[in-house]
Each structure stands twice: as C-alpha cells, then as structure tokens.
Structure 1
C-alpha cells in the first residue's frame, strides 16, 4: 500500500468511525434528540456499528487500522514501522473531521442543550461556573471524548490498557485463521469485540481504547464556538492516549511470544 492510499484510507475510515460513534453519543445525551436517554446499550452497539462501517469502507485502501494502538500492535507483529507516522496522521485528521461532522449534524441540538437552564443553570450557578471553566468537563464533552466515572489515574490507565489489549490481541490473532481474515468476516468479529469491550469494560472510563478517537475530537471540542460548552478536561487527556498505546504494544508483544 502506498503512503497516499494509507493516509486517505485512514482519514476516511476514521472520520466515518467518529461520525457514527460520536453521533450515537450525541443522540443519547442531547435532550432534544429522538434517542435521548436511550442508554448504554445503544452507545455500545452504535460504536460497534461505527467500527464495522469505517473498517469496511477503508480496508481496501489502508487495511483499516483506524486506531494508533492497532497500528502499534501490527507494527510490532510485523516489525514494520516505516508507515506508522502516515497511519497516525490520517487517523488523527480523520477523527477531527468526524467530530466536526457530528457538530454539524447536531448543531441545533447542541445549542438547545447548552442553553437549557436544566443543563447549565442560570447566571452564577455552580453549573454555569463549571461550564465557564477551561478544564472542568463541560456538559457535552462526552459526545467528543471520554472521561472517568472515578478519577484515579492509575486505575484509569489500567482500564484503558486492559481494554485495548483485548481489542488489539483479537485483531492480531485474526490472522491465525486466514479464512476468517480474508473473507471479510474478520471486520465483523472486530466490531463485535468492540461491543463486548464496551459492555464489559466501558463503565469506568468510557473505553477510549483508541488515542486518535479521543484526542482528535477533544481538540475539536476545544475549538468549537459552542455556548456554555465548558472545558475539554486536558488534565485527563493523556490517559486515553498513553493507556491504549501501552495496551496495543503489550498485545503485540504477547502475540510475538505466543503466536508468532
């Protein structure tokens, strides 16, 4: 695969991934949405379908990594690092484009939600002060990026490492069954693994398990001109980057030890 194909494939695939994944979160959390309060099952299955769609679209161009942790795991498996920066660049740009498209699709709902007194309160209220903070997570940050239910850096990193380790090891071991990998069913299996991770391990941190998926949309949240949007929680932002990269590297190392 050429660098241009890899870059274009990762931009398109990751943009679709974030558009559909961020879109299901917006549908569930924004008050004027028809899917408001649909719950965690809707979010986990929505993200699984997002992975399925983005990967099918981009697999022919780039192999559909769509995730720097996957790229690291595959680079360790294959001892091939020269195109890793191209993958990373395409994934980050694609994630930012996808997040911006979520903003466009739900623009009116973002405005309605962020001007609702039940959401942000009136002048001088604690909610309004929080929304004005530069780092306190705002009321719609969860549409764009993840955050912990219990803020404990060691636990939060461990959760992201474990979840990403499962994801990347599942992807790497698809090659053990060549028929599964070549048939295209492998992409479906990965999507189902993402759903499983969300259901089983998503509760503590929101299961970023993908540095680009979290960092790109968080940057977009910081830049968007939304009223009362609050902060982008940059003090937490390193965890969904470092944790997944460690998890991907550990999966690649275990693959070399056990399956290579």
Structure 2
C-alpha cells in the first residue's frame, strides 16, 4: 500500500470511528437527545461499532489501524517503522474531522444543553462542571462527549488503567495475526471490535478507556476550538494520561509479543 493510501484510509476510518464513538457519547449526554441517559452499555457498544465501521472502511487502503497505539505495536512486531508517520498523520486528521462532525450532527442538542437553565445554574455553582455523570471534574459540561476523564483523579492509577487496557487490545491484535492477513476476510476486524466492547465493559469504568491517544487528543483539541456557549475548560492537565498510557501499553504489548510469541 502506498503512503497516500495509508493517509487517506486512516483519515476516513478514524473519522468514522470518532463520529460514531463521540456520537454515542453525545446521544447519551445531551439534553433533547432521544438516547439521553441510555447508559454505559450503549456507550461501549457504540465505540465497538465505531471501530467496526471505521476499520472496515480503512482496511483496503491502510489496514485500518485507526489508533497510534496499534500502529506502534505493529511496528514493534514487524520492525517496519518507515510508514508510521503516515499512519499518525491520517489518524490525527481523521480524529479532528470526526469530532467536528459530532458537533455538526448534534448542533441543536449542544445548544439546548449548554443554554439549559439547569446546566447554567450548575456551572454557576461549580464552574468546573461535570465531565461524566454528575461527578464534578475539571472540564466543562460536554467535555465527556469529546474526550475521557477519570472518575477518581489519581494520575498513577489512571495511567496504569490506560496502559493495561491498551496492552490487552494490542496484544490481541498482534497474536491474532492482524498484520499477516487475518483482516482480509474481515474476521479480524470483527473480533477486534468485540474486544473493544469487552474492554469498555471491563476496564472502562475508571477512566472512560481512551485506549487510543488520538481518540482523546483530537476531540479534545476540537472541544477547545468550538464556539460552544458555557463549554468550560478542556482539562489539559489530564490530557497527557490518555496519550502516554495507551502508548506505554502498546510498547509493553509489543515487547511481550517479541519475547513470548516469536
């Protein structure tokens, strides 16, 4: 596959991943949404289907990594690093586009939510605002639509949670031969999507399971730039954890694969 195909495939695939994943977060969070308060099960399946749709779209062009952690793990396994920058460029651009499209799709709901008297009153009493549920965390009332945040803010625990969850994801991909053609018939993509659902159900509770640096960073950038009323901050103090944690987990998974499976 050419470098251009890699960039194009990752842009489209990652954009769909973030659109569907961020979309389900918006659906569950925002007032005037028919899916409001649908809960964590809806969110985990929404992200799993986002992986499924995005990876199938990108598979024929780039292999459908959609995640710098996956790209890192595969590079450690194969020793092929020359194409890594093209994957990262496509993934970041796609994440930015996908997050922007979430705002476009839910434009009316964002406006209704952020100008709702109850939300505004909550911001006046707690300017930090909640990021998840009713838990007061740094960040605005819709930051959780775009990026992750911990339920208990403990950097060491949060970092370990992200690293462990991502290591499971990347080790699964490496051991199932996703770099050796299993994805050609689509089965590898389906299984990976199911693993993402499982990770959300099992390990997503503490941090919201970024398990993908650009899944968090790209939408967080978009949140900081969008003209949303009463949106609050973007919690940049936490933003390094869903970047460093998944990359550390991917490096651990790649190292374990080389030690134990080759």
Q: Same fold (TM over 0.5)?
A: yes
Is 1:30–2:30 an aligned residue pair?
yes
Within-5 A mapping of 1:183-198: 183-198=185-200
Q: Aligned residue for 2:128?
A: 130
Determine helix, strand or coil for the equivalent of 1:7.
Answer: helix
Q: Aligned residue for 2:133?
A: none
Q: CA contact under 8 A between 1:161 and 1:244: conserved in structure 2?
A: yes
Structure 1 residue 85: deviation in Å?
Answer: 1.0
Determine helix, strand or coil for the equivalent of 1:175.
Answer: coil
Structure 1 residue 183: deviation in Å?
Answer: 2.2
Q: CA contact under 8 A between 1:24 and 1:42: conserved in structure 2?
A: yes
Structure 1 residues 179 and 81, CA gap change in structure 2 (3 angstroms): closer
Q: Aligned residue for 2:177?
A: 175
| Whole-angstrom CA distance in 2 between matches of 1:9 and 1:179 | 17
Q: CA contact under 8 A between 1:160 and 1:207: conserved in structure 2?
A: yes
Within-5 A mapping of 1:150-229: 150-175=152-177, 180-229=182-231
Q: Aligned residue for 1:110?
A: 110
Structure 1 residues 225 and 176, CA gap change in structure 2 (3 angstroms): closer
Structure 1 residues 159 and 98, CA gap change in structure 2 (3 angstroms): same
Structure 1 residue 136: deviation in Å?
Answer: 2.9
| Whole-angstrom CA distance in 1 between matches of 2:179 and 2:78 | 17
Structure 1 residue 234: deviation in Å?
Answer: 0.0
Q: CA contact under 8 A between 2:27 and 2:36: conserved in structure 1?
A: yes
Aligned length: 255
Superposition RMSD on alpha carbons, in Å? 1.6
| Whole-angstrom CA distance in 1 between matches of 2:147 and 2:237 | 13
| Whole-angstrom CA distance in 2 between matches of 1:66 and 1:154 | 26
TM-score by length of 1: 0.95
| Whole-angstrom CA distance in 1 between matches of 2:179 and 2:10 | 25
Structure 1 residue 184: deviation in Å?
Answer: 1.3
Structure 1 residues 179 and 130, CA gap change in structure 2 (3 angstroms): closer
- For residues 4-47 of structure 1, the C-alpha deviation after alignment (integer angstroms, 9 at most, x for no partner) is 00000000000000000000000000011000000000000010
Q: CA contact under 8 A between 1:25 and 1:142: conserved in structure 2?
A: yes
Q: Which segment is superposed worse, 53-62 or 113-122?
A: 113-122
Determine helix, strand or coil for the equivalent of 1:146.
Answer: coil
Q: Which segment is superposed worse, 176-185 or 193-202?
A: 176-185
TM-score by length of 2: 0.94
Q: CA contact under 8 A between 1:174 and 1:181: conserved in structure 2?
A: no
Structure 1 residue 120: deviation in Å?
Answer: 2.3
Structure 1 residues 177 and 16, CA gap change in structure 2 (3 angstroms): closer
Structure 1 residues 256 and 223, CA gap change in structure 2 (3 angstroms): same
